[in-house]
Structure 1
Amino acid sequence: MSAELVPVSPGVVRLTWSAELQAEGLGPTVEAVRVVIEQGFAAGHERIETLVDPADEAAQRVATFSGLMREGVARRVIEGADRIVYARLADDTPVEEPMGFRRLLNSFLPRKRAISQMLIRADGGGVGDDGGVRVLLCQLTYKKDWDLPGGVVEVSESPRLAVSREVEEELGLSIPAGPLVLTDWLPPWGGWDDAVCLVFDGGVHEESLVDGIVREAREIRSARFCTLEEVHELCADFTARRIVAALRNLSDAPGPAYTESGR
Protein backbone atom coordinates (compact mmCIF):
# COMPACT_ATOMS: atom_id res chain seq x y z
CA MET A 1 0.00 0.00 0.00
CA SER A 2 1.70 3.20 -1.12
CA ALA A 3 1.55 6.66 -2.65
CA GLU A 4 4.45 7.95 -4.70
CA LEU A 5 5.68 10.75 -6.95
CA VAL A 6 6.97 10.14 -10.47
CA PRO A 7 8.96 12.87 -12.28
CA VAL A 8 7.24 14.35 -15.35
CA SER A 9 9.40 17.37 -16.20
CA PRO A 10 11.70 19.74 -14.27
CA GLY A 11 9.83 20.81 -11.13
CA VAL A 12 6.77 18.71 -11.97
CA VAL A 13 5.90 15.31 -10.50
CA ARG A 14 2.87 13.07 -10.89
CA LEU A 15 1.21 11.59 -7.83
CA THR A 16 -0.14 8.05 -7.83
CA TRP A 17 -1.48 5.78 -5.11
CA SER A 18 -2.28 2.11 -5.13
CA ALA A 19 -5.69 0.49 -5.27
CA GLU A 20 -4.79 -1.33 -2.06
CA LEU A 21 -4.25 1.99 -0.27
CA GLN A 22 -7.52 3.43 -1.59
CA ALA A 23 -9.30 0.28 -0.38
CA GLU A 24 -8.28 1.21 3.17
CA GLY A 25 -10.81 4.06 3.02
CA LEU A 26 -10.86 7.81 2.49
CA GLY A 27 -9.17 8.81 5.75
CA PRO A 28 -6.07 6.59 5.55
CA THR A 29 -5.63 7.30 1.83
CA VAL A 30 -5.85 11.07 2.26
CA GLU A 31 -3.43 10.96 5.17
CA ALA A 32 -0.87 9.00 3.15
CA VAL A 33 -1.29 11.21 0.07
CA ARG A 34 -0.92 14.41 2.08
CA VAL A 35 2.35 13.15 3.54
CA VAL A 36 3.71 12.44 0.07
CA ILE A 37 2.57 15.89 -1.17
CA GLU A 38 4.35 17.60 1.72
CA GLN A 39 7.48 15.58 1.01
CA GLY A 40 7.32 16.57 -2.65
CA PHE A 41 7.20 20.28 -1.94
CA ALA A 42 9.91 19.92 0.71
CA ALA A 43 12.09 18.32 -1.97
CA GLY A 44 11.72 21.43 -4.13
CA HIS A 45 9.07 20.35 -6.64
CA GLU A 46 6.92 23.24 -7.92
CA ARG A 47 3.89 21.28 -9.14
CA ILE A 48 2.32 18.02 -8.00
CA GLU A 49 -0.41 16.61 -10.22
CA THR A 50 -2.50 13.50 -10.50
CA LEU A 51 -4.72 12.04 -13.22
CA VAL A 52 -7.96 10.47 -12.06
CA ASP A 53 -10.40 8.24 -13.89
CA PRO A 54 -13.72 10.16 -14.25
CA ALA A 55 -15.54 6.97 -13.21
CA ASP A 56 -13.52 6.65 -9.99
CA GLU A 57 -15.45 8.82 -7.54
CA ALA A 58 -13.43 7.57 -4.56
CA ALA A 59 -10.18 8.72 -6.18
CA GLN A 60 -11.73 12.09 -6.96
CA ARG A 61 -12.59 12.53 -3.29
CA VAL A 62 -9.05 11.53 -2.30
CA ALA A 63 -7.60 14.15 -4.64
CA THR A 64 -9.93 16.86 -3.36
CA PHE A 65 -9.53 16.09 0.36
CA SER A 66 -5.78 16.02 -0.17
CA GLY A 67 -5.90 19.66 -1.28
CA LEU A 68 -5.41 19.13 -5.03
CA MET A 69 -7.42 21.53 -7.20
CA ARG A 70 -9.34 20.30 -10.19
CA GLU A 71 -7.97 21.84 -13.40
CA GLY A 72 -10.04 20.12 -16.06
CA VAL A 73 -10.28 16.97 -18.16
CA ALA A 74 -7.43 15.73 -20.33
CA ARG A 75 -9.03 13.82 -23.18
CA ARG A 76 -7.62 10.41 -24.18
CA VAL A 77 -4.45 11.03 -22.22
CA ILE A 78 -3.93 7.46 -20.92
CA GLU A 79 -4.45 4.56 -23.31
CA GLY A 80 -7.18 6.44 -25.14
CA ALA A 81 -9.10 7.24 -21.94
CA ASP A 82 -10.00 10.60 -20.40
CA ARG A 83 -8.56 11.66 -17.05
CA ILE A 84 -9.45 14.47 -14.65
CA VAL A 85 -6.40 16.59 -13.87
CA TYR A 86 -5.87 17.64 -10.25
CA ALA A 87 -2.83 19.62 -9.15
CA ARG A 88 -1.29 21.76 -6.47
CA LEU A 89 1.51 24.32 -6.75
CA ALA A 90 4.12 24.97 -4.10
CA ASP A 91 2.94 28.57 -3.65
CA ASP A 92 -0.82 27.87 -3.58
CA THR A 93 -2.59 29.33 -0.55
CA PRO A 94 -2.78 26.63 2.16
CA VAL A 95 -6.13 24.87 2.28
CA GLU A 96 -6.28 25.58 6.02
CA GLU A 97 -6.67 29.30 5.24
CA PRO A 98 -10.12 30.59 4.18
CA MET A 99 -8.89 31.81 0.78
CA GLY A 100 -7.19 28.49 0.05
CA PHE A 101 -10.27 26.50 1.06
CA ARG A 102 -12.54 28.66 -1.12
CA ARG A 103 -10.21 28.26 -4.09
CA LEU A 104 -10.24 24.50 -3.61
CA LEU A 105 -14.06 24.43 -3.57
CA ASN A 106 -14.19 26.80 -6.55
CA SER A 107 -12.03 24.43 -8.59
CA PHE A 108 -14.56 21.59 -8.64
CA LEU A 109 -18.01 23.09 -7.96
CA PRO A 110 -20.28 23.25 -11.05
CA ARG A 111 -20.04 26.30 -13.28
CA LYS A 112 -22.68 27.52 -15.70
CA ARG A 113 -22.14 29.59 -18.82
CA ALA A 114 -23.93 32.97 -18.83
CA ILE A 115 -25.12 34.78 -21.94
CA SER A 116 -26.26 38.41 -21.90
CA GLN A 117 -28.55 39.77 -24.61
CA MET A 118 -30.12 43.17 -25.22
CA LEU A 119 -33.72 43.79 -26.25
CA ILE A 120 -33.56 46.92 -28.43
CA ARG A 121 -36.86 48.18 -29.84
CA ALA A 122 -37.74 50.59 -32.66
CA ASP A 123 -39.66 53.77 -31.86
CA GLY A 124 -43.32 53.62 -32.84
CA GLY A 125 -43.90 49.92 -32.15
CA GLY A 126 -46.26 48.77 -29.45
CA VAL A 127 -45.27 46.10 -26.97
CA GLY A 128 -47.20 42.86 -27.11
CA ASP A 129 -48.01 39.91 -29.34
CA ASP A 130 -49.89 41.90 -32.00
CA GLY A 131 -46.92 42.28 -34.35
CA GLY A 132 -46.62 46.03 -33.84
CA VAL A 133 -43.32 45.81 -32.02
CA ARG A 134 -39.98 45.70 -33.85
CA VAL A 135 -36.81 44.44 -32.23
CA LEU A 136 -33.20 44.58 -33.37
CA LEU A 137 -31.97 41.20 -34.62
CA CYS A 138 -28.54 40.13 -35.80
CA GLN A 139 -27.78 37.73 -38.63
CA LEU A 140 -24.75 35.83 -37.36
CA THR A 141 -21.90 34.41 -39.41
CA TYR A 142 -21.58 31.19 -37.41
CA LYS A 143 -25.18 29.98 -37.47
CA LYS A 144 -28.18 30.30 -39.74
CA ASP A 145 -30.60 31.54 -37.07
CA TRP A 146 -30.89 35.24 -36.24
CA ASP A 147 -30.62 36.33 -32.63
CA LEU A 148 -30.70 39.27 -30.24
CA PRO A 149 -27.44 41.22 -29.95
CA GLY A 150 -25.21 40.12 -27.09
CA GLY A 151 -22.84 37.33 -26.19
CA VAL A 152 -21.09 35.26 -23.57
CA VAL A 153 -20.24 36.89 -20.24
CA GLU A 154 -16.51 36.76 -19.57
CA VAL A 155 -15.08 35.35 -16.33
CA SER A 156 -15.53 37.86 -13.47
CA GLU A 157 -17.48 40.24 -15.75
CA SER A 158 -20.81 41.79 -14.82
CA PRO A 159 -23.59 40.47 -17.10
CA ARG A 160 -24.97 44.01 -17.42
CA LEU A 161 -21.60 45.39 -18.52
CA ALA A 162 -21.02 42.35 -20.74
CA VAL A 163 -24.06 42.98 -22.92
CA SER A 164 -23.19 46.64 -23.47
CA ARG A 165 -19.62 45.60 -24.32
CA GLU A 166 -20.84 43.01 -26.81
CA VAL A 167 -23.23 45.47 -28.47
CA GLU A 168 -20.44 48.01 -28.84
CA GLU A 169 -17.89 45.46 -30.08
CA GLU A 170 -20.19 43.74 -32.58
CA LEU A 171 -22.42 46.62 -33.72
CA GLY A 172 -20.50 49.77 -32.81
CA LEU A 173 -23.44 51.03 -30.74
CA SER A 174 -23.02 52.53 -27.28
CA ILE A 175 -26.21 51.56 -25.42
CA PRO A 176 -26.18 51.19 -21.62
CA ALA A 177 -28.11 48.13 -20.50
CA GLY A 178 -31.34 48.85 -18.70
CA PRO A 179 -33.19 46.62 -16.24
CA LEU A 180 -33.15 42.84 -16.51
CA VAL A 181 -36.39 41.74 -18.18
CA LEU A 182 -35.95 37.97 -18.42
CA THR A 183 -33.82 35.08 -17.19
CA ASP A 184 -34.03 32.13 -19.58
CA TRP A 185 -32.40 28.75 -18.96
CA LEU A 186 -31.12 27.00 -22.07
CA PRO A 187 -30.84 23.20 -21.89
CA PRO A 188 -27.91 21.40 -23.55
CA TRP A 189 -28.26 21.75 -27.30
CA GLY A 190 -26.27 21.15 -30.47
CA GLY A 191 -22.95 20.51 -28.76
CA TRP A 192 -23.37 23.27 -26.16
CA ASP A 193 -23.66 22.70 -22.42
CA ASP A 194 -26.63 24.30 -20.69
CA ALA A 195 -26.52 28.03 -20.00
CA VAL A 196 -28.42 30.92 -18.45
CA CYS A 197 -29.44 33.74 -20.79
CA LEU A 198 -30.06 37.16 -19.23
CA VAL A 199 -32.06 39.61 -21.37
CA PHE A 200 -31.63 43.30 -20.54
CA ASP A 201 -33.79 46.18 -21.76
CA GLY A 202 -31.99 48.21 -24.42
CA GLY A 203 -34.71 50.82 -24.67
CA VAL A 204 -36.64 52.30 -27.60
CA HIS A 205 -34.73 54.01 -30.43
CA GLU A 206 -35.30 55.67 -33.79
CA GLU A 207 -35.18 53.45 -36.86
CA SER A 208 -32.10 55.43 -37.91
CA LEU A 209 -30.16 53.64 -35.16
CA VAL A 210 -29.29 50.93 -37.71
CA ASP A 211 -27.58 53.51 -39.91
CA GLY A 212 -24.91 53.92 -37.24
CA ILE A 213 -24.14 50.22 -36.97
CA VAL A 214 -20.53 49.23 -37.60
CA ARG A 215 -20.55 45.45 -37.93
CA GLU A 216 -17.89 43.17 -36.54
CA ALA A 217 -17.63 41.29 -39.84
CA ARG A 218 -16.29 38.09 -38.32
CA GLU A 219 -19.51 37.61 -36.33
CA ILE A 220 -22.28 39.81 -37.77
CA ARG A 221 -23.55 39.56 -41.35
CA SER A 222 -26.32 42.12 -40.92
CA ALA A 223 -28.61 43.68 -38.34
CA ARG A 224 -32.05 45.26 -38.63
CA PHE A 225 -35.29 45.89 -36.82
CA CYS A 226 -37.75 43.02 -37.31
CA THR A 227 -41.43 42.51 -36.62
CA LEU A 228 -42.58 39.68 -34.41
CA GLU A 229 -43.66 37.81 -37.53
CA GLU A 230 -40.08 38.06 -38.80
CA VAL A 231 -38.75 37.02 -35.39
CA HIS A 232 -40.63 33.74 -35.72
CA GLU A 233 -39.43 33.31 -39.31
CA LEU A 234 -35.75 34.11 -38.74
CA CYS A 235 -34.99 32.91 -35.21
CA ALA A 236 -34.79 29.45 -33.70
CA ASP A 237 -38.05 28.56 -31.97
CA PHE A 238 -36.57 28.88 -28.48
CA THR A 239 -35.09 32.30 -29.35
CA ALA A 240 -38.45 33.51 -30.63
CA ARG A 241 -40.14 32.31 -27.45
CA ARG A 242 -37.51 34.12 -25.38
CA ILE A 243 -38.07 37.38 -27.24
CA VAL A 244 -41.84 37.15 -26.85
CA ALA A 245 -41.49 36.38 -23.13
CA ALA A 246 -39.11 39.33 -22.66
CA LEU A 247 -41.48 41.67 -24.49
CA ARG A 248 -44.35 40.56 -22.27
CA ASN A 249 -42.36 41.68 -19.25
CA LEU A 250 -42.21 45.20 -20.66
CA SER A 251 -46.01 45.34 -21.00
CA ASP A 252 -48.70 46.24 -18.52
CA ALA A 253 -49.39 42.54 -17.92
CA PRO A 254 -45.92 40.98 -17.50
CA GLY A 255 -45.35 37.27 -17.74
CA PRO A 256 -42.91 35.13 -15.73
CA ALA A 257 -39.48 36.64 -15.12
CA TYR A 258 -37.92 33.18 -15.46
CA THR A 259 -38.38 30.79 -18.37
CA GLU A 260 -36.79 27.60 -19.62
CA SER A 261 -36.07 27.60 -23.35
CA GLY A 262 -38.50 30.52 -23.58
CA ARG A 263 -41.37 28.62 -21.95
Structure 2
Amino acid sequence: MSLGGDWDPGSVTGFDDDVRAEGEPEREFHAGVAARLPRKSVSGGALVRDTAGLVLLLRPTYKPTLEIPGGVAEAGESPLAACRREVKEELGLALPIGRALVVDWIPVHGPWPDQLAFVFDGGVLDAATVARMVPDPVEVAGVEFLTLAAATDRLRPSMARRLAAAVVAAEAGETVYAEFGRPV
Protein backbone atom coordinates (compact mmCIF):
# COMPACT_ATOMS: atom_id res chain seq x y z
CA MET A 1 0.00 0.00 0.00
CA SER A 2 1.38 3.40 -0.98
CA LEU A 3 0.87 6.30 1.38
CA GLY A 4 1.42 8.98 -1.25
CA GLY A 5 1.20 12.70 -0.62
CA ASP A 6 -2.59 12.72 -0.98
CA TRP A 7 -3.20 10.22 1.83
CA ASP A 8 -5.57 11.62 4.44
CA PRO A 9 -6.55 9.26 7.27
CA GLY A 10 -9.82 11.12 7.74
CA SER A 11 -10.93 10.41 4.18
CA VAL A 12 -9.68 6.85 3.73
CA THR A 13 -12.42 4.26 4.01
CA GLY A 14 -11.48 1.97 6.84
CA PHE A 15 -9.55 4.48 8.96
CA ASP A 16 -11.91 3.90 11.89
CA ASP A 17 -11.49 0.17 11.29
CA ASP A 18 -7.71 0.64 11.47
CA VAL A 19 -8.04 2.41 14.81
CA ARG A 20 -10.26 -0.39 16.17
CA ALA A 21 -7.83 -3.00 14.81
CA GLU A 22 -5.10 -1.56 17.05
CA GLY A 23 -7.05 -3.08 19.93
CA GLU A 24 -7.19 -1.83 23.47
CA PRO A 25 -4.37 0.50 24.47
CA GLU A 26 -1.61 -1.30 26.28
CA ARG A 27 -1.89 -1.14 30.03
CA GLU A 28 0.61 0.95 31.91
CA PHE A 29 3.33 -1.20 33.39
CA HIS A 30 3.56 1.34 36.20
CA ALA A 31 0.35 3.23 36.98
CA GLY A 32 0.48 6.96 36.21
CA VAL A 33 3.41 6.82 33.79
CA ALA A 34 1.33 8.06 30.82
CA ALA A 35 0.14 11.13 32.74
CA ARG A 36 3.74 12.06 33.54
CA LEU A 37 4.93 11.98 29.92
CA PRO A 38 5.78 15.35 28.39
CA ARG A 39 3.25 16.99 26.09
CA LYS A 40 4.01 18.90 22.89
CA SER A 41 1.70 21.12 20.95
CA VAL A 42 1.22 20.43 17.25
CA SER A 43 0.23 22.86 14.53
CA GLY A 44 -0.57 22.75 10.85
CA GLY A 45 -0.14 25.70 8.51
CA ALA A 46 -0.36 26.15 4.76
CA LEU A 47 2.09 27.59 2.28
CA VAL A 48 -0.33 29.29 -0.12
CA ARG A 49 0.91 31.23 -3.15
CA ASP A 50 -0.60 33.26 -5.93
CA THR A 51 0.09 32.78 -9.64
CA ALA A 52 3.06 35.18 -9.40
CA GLY A 53 4.65 32.99 -6.71
CA LEU A 54 4.01 35.42 -3.85
CA VAL A 55 3.28 33.89 -0.42
CA LEU A 56 -0.06 34.51 1.31
CA LEU A 57 0.54 35.94 4.79
CA LEU A 58 -1.99 36.94 7.42
CA ARG A 59 -1.88 39.99 9.65
CA PRO A 60 -3.29 38.45 12.84
CA THR A 61 -5.33 40.57 15.24
CA TYR A 62 -3.63 38.93 18.25
CA LYS A 63 0.12 39.33 17.53
CA PRO A 64 2.46 41.79 15.83
CA THR A 65 4.07 39.41 13.32
CA LEU A 66 2.75 37.95 10.08
CA GLU A 67 1.64 34.31 9.97
CA ILE A 68 0.63 31.72 7.42
CA PRO A 69 -2.93 30.39 7.51
CA GLY A 70 -3.25 27.56 10.01
CA GLY A 71 -3.04 26.96 13.71
CA VAL A 72 -2.69 24.66 16.66
CA ALA A 73 -4.37 21.26 16.52
CA GLU A 74 -7.13 20.57 18.98
CA ALA A 75 -7.08 17.46 21.18
CA GLY A 76 -7.39 14.38 18.98
CA GLU A 77 -6.99 16.40 15.75
CA SER A 78 -4.24 15.68 13.23
CA PRO A 79 -1.98 18.49 11.99
CA LEU A 80 -3.50 18.15 8.50
CA ALA A 81 -7.06 18.37 9.83
CA ALA A 82 -6.06 21.39 11.95
CA CYS A 83 -4.58 23.07 8.89
CA ARG A 84 -7.71 22.49 6.81
CA ARG A 85 -10.00 23.68 9.63
CA GLU A 86 -7.95 26.79 10.38
CA VAL A 87 -7.55 27.75 6.70
CA LYS A 88 -11.33 27.54 6.25
CA GLU A 89 -11.93 29.54 9.45
CA GLU A 90 -9.31 32.21 8.70
CA LEU A 91 -9.81 32.63 4.95
CA GLY A 92 -13.35 31.39 4.35
CA LEU A 93 -12.01 28.95 1.74
CA ALA A 94 -11.90 25.15 1.76
CA LEU A 95 -8.57 24.80 -0.02
CA PRO A 96 -7.27 21.42 -1.20
CA ILE A 97 -4.38 21.19 1.27
CA GLY A 98 -1.69 18.91 -0.11
CA ARG A 99 1.41 17.14 1.10
CA ALA A 100 3.63 18.03 4.03
CA LEU A 101 6.45 20.33 3.01
CA VAL A 102 8.11 20.92 6.38
CA VAL A 103 8.02 19.29 9.80
CA ASP A 104 9.70 21.73 12.18
CA TRP A 105 10.50 21.26 15.85
CA ILE A 106 10.18 24.50 17.81
CA PRO A 107 11.81 24.62 21.26
CA VAL A 108 10.19 25.90 24.46
CA HIS A 109 9.91 29.67 24.26
CA GLY A 110 8.74 31.59 27.32
CA PRO A 111 5.38 30.19 28.47
CA TRP A 112 4.93 28.20 25.24
CA PRO A 113 5.74 24.47 25.19
CA ASP A 114 7.83 22.94 22.47
CA GLN A 115 5.91 22.21 19.31
CA LEU A 116 5.93 20.28 16.07
CA ALA A 117 4.88 22.67 13.31
CA PHE A 118 3.79 21.14 10.01
CA VAL A 119 3.67 23.25 6.85
CA PHE A 120 1.50 21.76 4.11
CA ASP A 121 1.22 22.74 0.47
CA GLY A 122 -1.80 25.02 0.19
CA GLY A 123 -1.42 25.33 -3.56
CA VAL A 124 -1.56 28.27 -5.92
CA LEU A 125 -4.59 30.56 -5.91
CA ASP A 126 -5.86 32.18 -9.08
CA ALA A 127 -7.39 35.69 -9.03
CA ALA A 128 -10.96 34.34 -8.86
CA THR A 129 -10.19 32.28 -5.74
CA VAL A 130 -8.40 35.22 -4.11
CA ALA A 131 -11.49 37.35 -4.77
CA ARG A 132 -13.67 34.76 -2.92
CA MET A 133 -11.48 34.96 0.19
CA VAL A 134 -13.34 36.25 3.27
CA PRO A 135 -10.85 36.69 6.12
CA ASP A 136 -12.25 36.15 9.63
CA PRO A 137 -12.33 39.66 11.17
CA VAL A 138 -11.89 38.29 14.69
CA GLU A 139 -8.53 36.65 13.90
CA VAL A 140 -7.33 38.30 10.69
CA ALA A 141 -6.72 42.05 10.31
CA GLY A 142 -5.73 41.54 6.68
CA VAL A 143 -3.96 39.37 4.13
CA GLU A 144 -0.99 40.14 1.91
CA PHE A 145 0.81 38.32 -0.88
CA LEU A 146 4.53 39.01 -0.44
CA THR A 147 7.93 37.71 -1.40
CA LEU A 148 9.74 36.18 1.55
CA ALA A 149 12.40 38.88 1.20
CA ALA A 150 9.76 41.61 1.56
CA ALA A 151 8.17 39.86 4.56
CA THR A 152 11.31 38.89 6.48
CA ASP A 153 11.33 41.86 8.87
CA ARG A 154 7.63 41.24 9.67
CA LEU A 155 8.06 37.52 10.45
CA ARG A 156 9.59 35.82 13.45
CA PRO A 157 13.05 34.65 12.32
CA SER A 158 12.10 30.99 12.80
CA MET A 159 8.98 31.47 10.62
CA ALA A 160 11.06 33.14 7.90
CA ARG A 161 13.42 30.14 7.92
CA ARG A 162 10.50 27.66 7.99
CA LEU A 163 8.81 29.35 5.02
CA ALA A 164 12.06 29.48 3.04
CA ALA A 165 12.44 25.73 3.65
CA ALA A 166 8.79 25.18 2.61
CA VAL A 167 9.26 27.07 -0.67
CA VAL A 168 12.37 25.01 -1.48
CA ALA A 169 10.57 21.78 -0.52
CA ALA A 170 7.57 22.65 -2.71
CA GLU A 171 9.79 23.36 -5.70
CA ALA A 172 11.89 20.21 -5.15
CA GLY A 173 8.95 17.88 -4.46
CA GLU A 174 10.42 17.00 -1.06
CA THR A 175 9.50 17.09 2.60
CA VAL A 176 12.01 18.72 4.93
CA TYR A 177 12.63 18.11 8.61
CA ALA A 178 13.82 21.22 10.43
CA GLU A 179 14.64 22.35 13.94
CA PHE A 180 13.59 25.93 14.69
CA GLY A 181 13.31 26.55 10.96
CA ARG A 182 16.75 25.21 10.07
CA PRO A 183 16.67 22.11 7.84
CA VAL A 184 18.59 19.24 9.38
- TM-score in terms of structure 2 length: 0.77
Corresponding residue for 1:101? Answer: 28
Sequence identity (%): 39
**Secondary structure class of the residue paired with 1:143:** coil
**Secondary structure class of the residue paired with 2:113:** coil
Corresponding residue for 2:42? Answer: 114
CA distance in 1, matches of 2:100, 2:117: 11
CA gap 1:140/1:202 in 2 versus in 1, 3 angstroms: same
> Do the aligned partners of 1:161 and 1:177 also contact (CA within 8 Å) in 2?
no
Corresponding residue for 1:170? Answer: 90
Q: Structure 1, residues 23-53: CA drift from partner, whole Å, max 9, x if none?
A: xxxxxxxxxxxxxxxxxxxxxxxxxxxxxxx
**1:206 maps onto 2:126 in alignment:** yes
Corresponding residue for 2:142? Answer: 222
**Equivalent runs, 1:176-191 vs 2, <5 Å:** 176-191=96-111
**1:258 maps onto 2:177 in alignment:** yes
Q: CA deviation at 1:176?
A: 2.5
CA distance in 2, matches of 1:142, 1:189: 17
Q: Structure 1, residues 188-220: CA drift from partner, whole Å, max 9, x if none?
A: 224211111000001111144332222222211
Q: CA deviation at 1:172?
A: 0.4
CA distance in 2, matches of 1:253, 1:171: 26
Larger radius of gyration: 1
> Do the aligned partners of 2:96 and 2:123 also contact (CA within 8 Å) in 1?
no
CA distance in 1, matches of 2:144, 2:92: 14
Unaligned runs of 5+ in 2: 1-23
Corresponding residue for 1:91? Answer: none
CA RMSD of superposed structures (Å): 2.2
The one-letter amino acid of 1:138's match is L
Unaligned runs of 5+ in 1: 1-96, 126-133
Tell me which moved more, 185-194 or 149-158: 185-194
Q: Which has the higher strand share?
A: 1
Corresponding residue for 2:61? Answer: 141
Which protein, 1 or 2, shows the higher relative CO under an 8 Å CA cutoff with sep ≥ 6? 2
**1:157 maps onto 2:46 in alignment:** no
CA distance in 2, matches of 1:98, 1:143: 40
